[in-house]
Amino acid sequence: MLLAIDCGNTNTLFAVHDGAQWRAQWRTSTDSTRTADEYAVWLSQLLQLQGLNLDDLSGCVISSVVPQSIFNLRNLARRYIKAEPIVVGEISVDLGVTVNLARPQDAGADRLVNALGCRVQYPGALLIVDSGTATTFDVVSADGAFEGGIIAPGINLSMQALHQAAARLPRIAIEKPQRVLGKDTVGAMQSGVFWGYIDLIDGLVERLKAEYGEPMTVIATGGVTSLFDGAARTIDHYDPDVTIRGLLEVWRRNDPGALSE
């Protein structure tokens, strides 16, 4: 079985694929100081809840935007899975994605994995909206090339900044308000952040589509994507599995004994 790890700035996703389907997925807070042994204890307990154990895992693929975490995640694979992990971003790893940027190395591992994960599922030109710590808008051409995109602050980051910078504004949960017009401080904040963010998504998607000049399918993914379901008019598909699908494809491309469906 394959252990796929997507390490983001805020959360790290662990997922297990048995060759036919995803058996389990878990999220934990990203902590670059967490050791391989600590990961192993945590992971082994969760595997047992699914009737699995560490010995069932035979391979590992890792994507990380937190360089400090790669060392411990790599050691997790080496010590407890007895496998050398495939790490997205290393020169030897083939993603099969052409990067049409002035500095191709600037494209984050997560964005390229998303591009690959969408290409194996959706035809034609694509626009991928990934909402997490940051929200990225990435364009993938019909032939699978990564054309670039936009990086904006994530909705949770925006809410946190509002609370920290204004002494009298409380920390609140992000929810879809029933009204645009806020009748109290909390309602006003929720409306400003939520509907402001929806209009940011719709506005940037429309600008990118107009500039690109070709029909594009818009896919939304990421940890807070469910917040926007039914609110953002420009989103064609909500797909939470884009990243792990991309990691599975990376594994298949780079391991001669890779799992097959």
What is the spatial distance between Cα 149 and Cα 128, in angstroms, rounded to a whole number?
9
Q: Which of 18, 31, 110, 229 is catalytic?
A: 110
Burial of 51 (0-12, 13-18, 19+ CB in 10 A): exposed
User: Is 94 a known active-site residue?
Assistant: no
For the chain, how are helix, strand and coil distributed in percent, rounded to 5? Answer: 40, 20, 40
What is the spatial distance between Cα 146 and Cα 137, in angstroms, rounded to a whole number?
11
Count the alpha carbons within 13 Å of 210 in the hemisphere toward its beta carbon: 7
Alpha helices in the chain (DSSP H): 36-49, 67-76, 109-119, 155-165, 185-212, 242-254
Catalytic residues, by residue number, are: 110
